[in-house]
Structure 1
Amino acid sequence: MAEDKQTPEEEVVEETVETPDVDTDATADVDPIVALETEIAEAEEKIAEAEDKYLRAHAEMQNMQTRYAKEQATAVKYASQNLAKSVLPALDNLERALQVEADDAAAQQIKTGVEMVYKTLVSALEDNDIKAVGAEGEPFDPNFHQAIQSVPADDDHPADTIAQVLQKGYVLADRVIRPAMVAVYN
């Protein structure tokens, strides 16, 4: 009986050993090729993924550089906006001072000095691409003008044109610093 128990185990072992040997011999020639092809395919896939990531990162860097350059150009272009906003009330006061009539020679000299300061200031603003907007007779444009009053239109004055400028507006390049306050024919 002991021999019977050992024999089936040995037979089972022999069968088990023989079956893998036959399979490994048949697949031993194929497995390295298949394994290498699989590794090559995986490596090519990883290379493609890495190349895609690189191209995306490179494109993102170019976009960031372009965006930064645009932001810098905009900052330089509109750098004088805050200064202009601060100076405009002084310019308005100089315009009001020039509207006063000078009665004597001393007042006329003062008015001449104020006019020189006014012209110098306007010239400095224009040199920095800051220009006045809003003149009587111009078509009303809500992008540049703020209607404060309406005046009845007549044959000589068509509707939606500026009747009177109450306060000049100013633009820096293409950006409105302050809209002109106007009366509009309606």
Structure 2
Amino acid sequence: MSKEEFPHEKDLKDEVTPDKAPKKDPKAASKEEVKEDPAKDYEKEIAELSAKNKDLEDKYLRSEAEIQNMQARYAKERAQLIKYESQSLAKEVLPAMDNLERALAVKADDEAAKQLQKGVQMTLDSLVKSMKDQGITEIKAEGETFDPALHQAVQTVAAENDDQKDHVVKVLQKGYQYKDRTLRPAMVVVAQ
């Protein structure tokens, strides 16, 4: 008989018999049956997402704090700029004031020179007033205790008495302050 005559019959070679059936390992079967509980997978995922969320929240808070710090620093720098806006101009004007004072120190012999000195004095007075209006003041030095933040010791001399020690005995060049900053320290002679 051929397969064509009985199409509904199967070829016995293709049939699986109990002795040809793939053998299952009883341990493997129990492993398949004892698959992880899906709830444990979800708990693990929830824990991971929770940790990630906490990390992102921490980064957000740090970024927010950094932004606030930057804004505060910016506001402080801006206030400093406004407070000390005239500082660079004042530094440029100080040498001109020194020159006017030197011109006044020269003794005038005739009437024309005296009139010129009077004009120089008026110019200097006007400049000093404008500087004071802007918060720029002369550093008081002569007779004061030496302060390295305000004075620059150019020379030292022997003190005549104990009260004079570490005090300024002569000012060689005036110093100036702008509000609470030293624009230029006074160049002084200090008694030791």
The answer on whether the counterparts of 1:134 and 1:145 sit within 8 Å (CA) in structure 2 is no
Work out which of the residue numbers 29, 35, 47 in structure 2 matches 1:41.
47
- What TM-score, normalized to structure 2? 0.79
Q: 1:75 aligns with which of 57, 69, 81?
A: 81
Are residue 183 (structure 1) and residue 150 (structure 2) matched? no
Superposition pairs of residues 1-186 of structure 1, within 5 angstroms: 7-10=18-21, 12-13=23-24, 19=30, 22-24=33-35, 31-155=37-161, 158-186=164-192
What's the Cα RMSD here? 2.7
Q: Distance in 2 between matches of 1:118 and 1:138?
A: 25
TM-score by length of structure 1 reads 0.81
Q: Which amino acid aligns with 1:120?
A: S
Call closer, same or farther: CA 1:14–1:145 in 2, change over 3 Å: closer
**Could you tell me which amino acid in structure 2 is paired with residue 185 of structure 1?**
A
| Sequence identity (%) | 49
> For residues 109-154 of structure 1, what are the alpha-carbon distances to aligned partners after superposition, in whole Å with 9 as ceiling and x for unaligned?
3222211211111122222222211432111112211122223222
User: How far is the alpha carbon of 1:165 from its aligned partner?
Assistant: 0.6
Give the number of aligned pairs.
Answer: 178
- Structure 1 stretch displaced more, 117-126 or 67-76: 67-76
Deviating more after overlay: 74-83 vs 111-120? 74-83
CA distance in 2, matches of 1:97, 1:14: 114
**Kept in 2: contact 1:157–1:185 (CA 8 A):** no
Q: As a proportion of its length, which structure holds more helix?
A: 1
Secondary structure at the counterpart of residue 187 of structure 2:
strand
Provide Cα deviations, 1:32-55, integer angstroms capped at 9, x if missing partner: 221222222122111101100100
SS at match of 1:10: coil
Q: Which structure's CA Rg is the greater one?
A: 2
1:181–1:12 distance in 2 versus 1, CA, 3 Å = same
Q: Within 2, Cα distance between the matches of 1:33 and 1:45?
A: 18
Residues 141 and 151, structure 2, Cα contact 8 Å, conserved in 1 = no
